[in-house]
Structure 1
Amino acid sequence: MSSERPWLAHYPAGVPAEIDLDEFASINDIFDSAVQKYRDKTAFISMGKSITYGELERLSRDFAGYLLGELKLKKGDRVAIMMPNCLQYPIAILGVLRAGLTVVNTNPMYTARELKHQLVDSGASVLVVLDNFGNVAQEVLSQVPGVRAVTTGLGDMLGFPKGLIVNFVLKHVKKMVPDFDIPGAVRFRDTLTLGRMHQLPEIRNTPEDLAFLQYTGGTTGVSKGAMLTHRNLVANMQQAASWVGTNVKLGEELIVTALPLYHIFALTSNCLVFMKFGAANLLITNPRDMPGFVKEIKSVRFTAITGVNTLFNGLLNTPGFDQVDFSRLHLTLGGGMAVQRAVADKWKQVTGVTLAEAYGLTETSPAVCINPLDLRAYNGSIGLPVPSTQVCIKDDDGNLLPMGEVGELCVKGPQVMKGYWQRPEETDKVMDAEGWLKTGDMARMDEQGYFYIVDRKKDMILVSGFNVYPNEVEDVIAMMPAVLEVAAIGVPDDKSGEAVKVFVVKKDPALTADAVKAFCRENLTGYKQPRFVEFRDELPKSNVGKILRKELRSPAQA
């Protein structure tokens, strides 16, 4: 079946079966080519301030100069970046890559426990952090010696006087910036001044060099770094660009980037793919503020937007969204979690544009399948495999299954990660000798080569497009002295797709649900925290004493 590729006969016009893997050796090459073609075009817009491709080239060069000239980092060293969408983000990631280093994307909502694991596991030399999260960084950096800190305020790249006003309001009016003190920390703006004084050596990234360590939970619950090379990301950028590029206007696109750039979906689809097109990225710093989000997109005539189901649903339910100017919008891409039919139908009705569902994983940089963009309406599938990609359905013994039968979705292609950082045994669990990646998702393929996700093999819980691994939630709650046993499952939720529910057997009869939730607030990012806590006298177990989550799940689902 993998050799037949029935989907090729149903590719949209102009999409090739294979991509040119050798056009660019690295992400740096893509950026250089964009700068040559679109130097004076807007590259990124944030809070009303825009920077051109030429300015981005200069600023990222200055940051690279700081990392190499001042900090004396060596090729392959890791730099962690902990910021929401703001102008500093693209400057920092491009600076890191242009210096021949590796980016470790870090969720700014991480608790101290989660941040410490990622810094220690990745062996990061530097942490670039927004002031709003400086208190968490302070706590962790005191325990992880040798990591240099670069700090920045949200307003720092917005110019005078706007930047000063934004920083003042955030700290003193909205009280969103807690006090912190990180000894030896350098301000982001100062790194640019210092870096400017250094000549940037000729850096040649090879296709096999690590571009990103992109952390993902994996079934074991401990967060693992997927090793994404320049080749992986360049390949996926070429695959996605060939798919969406048939109806883009070079140098004229404006894409709304509300998903965080630290998430692989926005990083590849918005930042890299649209960089090749010379597009402007409108960065939304806080998409949870839906009225503010709608106000921001009302002021521009955007051409494309990516998001997860909950984001589209939120916009559709925000007053004023139906008055936005959609006259130039031609691309809406949904991924990260299943798109619901009701949301897709309403999106089409309000915007006039089909919400095309795509499917991918952190481990595949991320795109595996995308629906044709000329689709008349939502079809419930995750689409067709992108060019140069093989997808098949296998049973538990690794045998190929015939069309229409449900089994595990497996992927092979140039976008598949090198493996998990320093975890060969975890890599071996998901990748076979031939390069097939087991996704852990149960799916089927129809006769035209469209794939449909049926269910997840793993016990993973998907909250608003973010993976929550039950083991991690259970490990945290199990640290409470008053808890005897705990199990976590996902339950359906209208807003977030799924929500976390935990079943707890008490050791101390005085334990309350509020106490469990409070403990989780201290130790888990918001989306991982249990919404529901149910106490039980005992939990269902197998004959070897393993807690059976599926038995807890069946009544919960009903």
Structure 2
Amino acid sequence: MTEQQRQDDIPRPWLDLYPDDVPSEIGPLEPRSIVDLADQTCARFGDRKAFTNMGQTLTFAEVKRLSDDFAAYLQVSLGLRPGDRIVLQMPNLLQYPVALFGAIKAGLIVVNANPLYTAPETKAVILQSRARTIVVLEMFADKIADILPDTTLQNVIITRPADLWHSPARRLLTNAGMRLKGMVPKYRLPGAIDFRDAIAHGADLCLQPVPAELDDVVLLQFTGGTTGTPKGAMLTHRNLLADSQAMRHWMRVILDEGAENVLAALPLYHVFCMTVNCLCFFAYGLHNVLVTNPREIAPLTKTIVRERTSVIILVSTLAQALLDHPRFAKADFDFLKLTVAGGMALRESTANEWQTVTRRPMLEGYGLTEASPVVSVNPTWRPPVIGTVGIPLPSTEIKVLDAQGRVADFEEPGDLYVRGPQVMKGYWERPDETAEVLDADGWLATGDVAVLHPDGYFSIVDRKKDMISVSGFNVYPNEVETVLSDHPRIKTAGVIGVPDEHSGEVVKAFIVPADPDLTEDEVRQYARRYLTGYKRPRYIEFRDELPMSNVGKVIRRELRD
């Protein structure tokens, strides 16, 4: 127990749950940067499988070579400097870890962007980060072409799904599969760079190592934060390495180093999968099987069985979709060791059914972007406590405060605070908003309401006041309301989340029309133009007026009531 722990009155009953072989502190960070982590891991595991996607595999040695070549191209050919921002906008493909590690080796700050973002959403991320370069899957390049003149982008690198496949499979997919099916919209981007050309040119260049300090920002992960206003969480080498190292303490209890297959079905551009799969499992020498489209449940089930994935990371809705598929229910899961659910609340019925079908428990955890993101998870060395998000990771503390700012009693709901080496440096160019959530002692106000139980486990009893979670993706009502209110025939809009059997929640919009002829179809068409699919209202209700506060804000709790 640290000196700080002895001085305060914050209960830490979870410390009693750590066994002798799982330290409650992570100790000194090894390695000292993500560059070192990538290089040391690749040297250690060499020709073993690192990433597989659609039947094509990269070894650890290939990840090292390709990321070095890409880094050299960024550094020498494009003249990018340490601290410049680069956007990665692609689904789970072999190119993602290569681009991620290559960008970091060049000293750049990575900005993840959902490939399903609309053009305005992508533009906002680029402008807020002032990114100079983007790596984008060709299927989404038309959006970049639409917004390019109005952004800070100087370099557009286009990649295709089969770019890192071995011939002749690459030519077959690129020439016959993609274009003939009309999956690539027409676009015009003069001067765009081919990802494969960048790798090839970089192979002839000399990469100059970039010194990295633990507190250097390496990732800008955009989030609504604890207030719902989109902003970039600045995550450092220290933050990401600490979270990765803490999780490795957890999994060493049941996983064999360098000998497991991991299902990476959640998107790598989400900080959860990026940290867990590209850093934590990668550094442990595990083989990540990247799934580009997890919505196709039959192929996903086939992948799990064929690859014998002993580790599965998913969200509750995806777990239920698997359980509902007849092939999954008939499979033999003798190979399965660890299943972790995150991103959204785990339904108790799903957890119980998963245990029945696979004969393995599902462990629920908790995290947030500002904490890199994992804060807690049910222990791997004892049966999970369903309905809880487990206990804090090593070197991680939580406290629950009541309305008066005092430490809440056990079982008393209160505001959840987190402290640990994985807590972000702050919000990008938002010092005032950083100060609202981070205090001088390093405590992060999560905006969530939690209950700490006497046995050391804790539960989330309410999410951020107004946030909506659609299949694990956060939707912030302010953003949707702003988009809807910009419609010339909409006077006022209010947005809430409503329960949904498949997605956990979906968006419902309450609209006061400025024009009585406004139709629901017109609103849906408008939302389709400016909002990603999961942010669009599933339900629309027209009203004559909405409940408003004395400062003109929609009172969402009355809409929920």
Could you tell me the TM-score, scaled by structure 1's length? 0.97
Match of 1:72 among 79, 85, 110: 79
Q: Which moved more, 1:200-209 or 1:364-373?
A: 200-209
Deviation at 1:221, TM superposition (A): 4.3
1:501 aligns with 2:514: no
Q: In the TM superposition, what are the counterparts of 1:532-547 in structure 2 within 5 Å?
A: 532-547=539-554
Q: Is the 8 A contact 1:62 1:95 kept in 2?
A: yes
Deviation at 1:146, TM superposition (A): 4.1
Q: Which moved more, 1:391-400 or 1:475-484?
A: 391-400
1:186 aligns with 2:193: yes
- Tell me, in whole angstroms, the C-alpha distance in 2 between the residues paired with 1:423 and 1:377: 39
Q: In the TM superposition, what are the counterparts of 1:384-403 in structure 2 within 5 Å?
A: 384-403=391-410
- Tell me, in whole angstroms, the C-alpha distance in 2 between the residues paired with 1:223 and 1:331: 33
Match of 1:83 among 87, 90, 106: 90
- Tell me, in whole angstroms, the C-alpha distance in 2 between the residues paired with 1:267 and 1:2: 35
1:421 aligns with 2:428: yes
Q: Is the 8 A contact 1:344 1:378 kept in 2?
A: no
1:552 aligns with 2:559: yes
Q: SS of the counterpart of 1:409?
A: strand
- Residue 213 (structure 1) aligns with: 220
- Residue 361 (structure 1) aligns with: 368
1:31 aligns with 2:38: yes
- Residue 298 (structure 1) aligns with: 305
Q: Is the 8 A contact 2:468 2:507 kept in 1?
A: yes
Q: SS of the counterpart of 2:93?
A: coil
Match of 1:485 among 474, 483, 492: 492
- Tell me, in whole angstroms, the C-alpha distance in 1 between the residues paired with 2:82 and 2:421: 23
Could you tell me the TM-score, scaled by structure 2's length? 0.96
- Tell me, in whole angstroms, the C-alpha distance in 1 between the residues paired with 2:9 and 2:379: 20
Structure 1, residues 15-61: CA drift from partner, whole Å, max 9, x if none? 11100233221112222221222011100001101110001000000
> Aligned AA for 1:224?
K
> Aligned AA for 2:155?
R
1:130 aligns with 2:137: yes
Match of 1:5 among 12, 15, 19: 12
Deviation at 1:457, TM superposition (A): 3.9
- Tell me, in whole angstroms, the C-alpha distance in 1 between the residues paired with 2:201 and 2:291: 29
- Residue 254 (structure 1) aligns with: 261
Q: Is the 8 A contact 1:440 1:457 kept in 2?
A: yes
1:465 aligns with 2:472: yes
- Tell me, in whole angstroms, the C-alpha distance in 1 between the residues paired with 2:273 and 2:104: 17
> Aligned AA for 1:435?
G
Deviation at 1:153, TM superposition (A): 0.9
1:159 aligns with 2:166: yes
Q: In the TM superposition, what are the counterparts of 1:424-435 in structure 2 within 5 Å?
A: 424-435=431-442
Deviation at 1:218, TM superposition (A): 2.6
- Residue 172 (structure 1) aligns with: 179
Structure 1, residues 82-139: CA drift from partner, whole Å, max 9, x if none? 0000000000000011111111111100101111110011011100000010101111
> Aligned AA for 2:514?
K
- Residue 447 (structure 2) aligns with: 440
Q: SS of the counterpart of 1:458?
A: coil
- Tell me, in whole angstroms, the C-alpha distance in 2 between the residues paired with 1:308 and 1:408: 24
1:372 aligns with 2:379: yes
Distance 1:155 1:457, change over 3 A: closer
Q: Which moved more, 1:215-224 or 1:229-238?
A: 215-224
> Aligned AA for 2:279?
L
- Tell me, in whole angstroms, the C-alpha distance in 2 between the residues paired with 1:198 and 1:126: 19
- Tell me, in whole angstroms, the C-alpha distance in 2 between the residues paired with 1:92 and 1:325: 36
Q: Is the 8 A contact 1:315 1:321 kept in 2?
A: yes
- Tell me, in whole angstroms, the C-alpha distance in 1 between the residues paired with 2:385 and 2:453: 16
Distance 1:66 1:342, change over 3 A: same
Q: SS of the counterpart of 1:211?
A: strand
Deviation at 1:13, TM superposition (A): 5.2
Match of 2:237 among 213, 227, 230: 230
1:475 aligns with 2:482: yes
- Residue 248 (structure 2) aligns with: 241
> Aligned AA for 2:186?
D
> Aligned AA for 1:137?
I
Match of 1:47 among 50, 54, 59: 54
> Aligned AA for 1:314?
A
- Tell me, in whole angstroms, the C-alpha distance in 1 between the residues paired with 2:227 and 2:384: 38
- Tell me, in whole angstroms, the C-alpha distance in 1 between the residues paired with 2:453 and 2:20: 20
Deviation at 1:173, TM superposition (A): 3.5
Q: SS of the counterpart of 1:320?
A: helix
Q: SS of the counterpart of 1:89?
A: helix
Deviation at 1:320, TM superposition (A): 0.9
Deviation at 1:163, TM superposition (A): 1.4
Distance 1:503 1:264, change over 3 A: same
Q: Is the 8 A contact 2:29 2:245 kept in 1?
A: no
- Residue 405 (structure 1) aligns with: 412
- Tell me, in whole angstroms, the C-alpha distance in 1 between the residues paired with 2:169 and 2:442: 51
1:335 aligns with 2:342: yes
- Tell me, in whole angstroms, the C-alpha distance in 2 between the residues paired with 1:91 and 1:505: 48
Q: SS of the counterpart of 2:427?
A: coil
> Aligned AA for 1:306?
I
- Tell me, in whole angstroms, the C-alpha distance in 1 between the residues paired with 2:550 and 2:35: 55
Q: Which moved more, 1:536-545 or 1:99-108?
A: 536-545
Q: Name the Cα RMSD after superposition.
A: 1.4
Distance 1:457 1:88, change over 3 A: closer
1:94 aligns with 2:101: yes
> Aligned AA for 1:22?
L
Distance 1:303 1:13, change over 3 A: farther
- Tell me, in whole angstroms, the C-alpha distance in 1 between the residues paired with 2:198 and 2:270: 25
Deviation at 1:500, TM superposition (A): 0.3
Structure 1, residues 297-324: CA drift from partner, whole Å, max 9, x if none? 2321111010111111111112311233
- Tell me, in whole angstroms, the C-alpha distance in 2 between the residues paired with 1:367 and 1:146: 32
> Aligned AA for 1:171?
M
Q: Is the 8 A contact 1:356 1:375 kept in 2?
A: no
Distance 1:504 1:186, change over 3 A: same
- Residue 319 (structure 1) aligns with: 326
1:110 aligns with 2:90: no
- Tell me, in whole angstroms, the C-alpha distance in 2 between the residues paired with 1:472 and 1:459: 12
- Tell me, in whole angstroms, the C-alpha distance in 2 between the residues paired with 1:149 and 1:323: 46
- Tell me, in whole angstroms, the C-alpha distance in 2 between the residues paired with 1:277 and 1:218: 30
> Aligned AA for 2:534?
Y
Identity over aligned pairs, percent: 47
Q: Which moved more, 1:72-81 or 1:215-224?
A: 215-224
Q: SS of the counterpart of 2:487?
A: coil
Deviation at 1:170, TM superposition (A): 4.4
> Aligned AA for 1:236?
D
- Tell me, in whole angstroms, the C-alpha distance in 1 between the residues paired with 2:488 and 2:228: 21
Deviation at 1:379, TM superposition (A): 1.7
Q: SS of the counterpart of 2:433?
A: helix
- Residue 119 (structure 1) aligns with: 126
Q: Is the 8 A contact 1:345 1:377 kept in 2?
A: no
Distance 1:118 1:550, change over 3 A: same
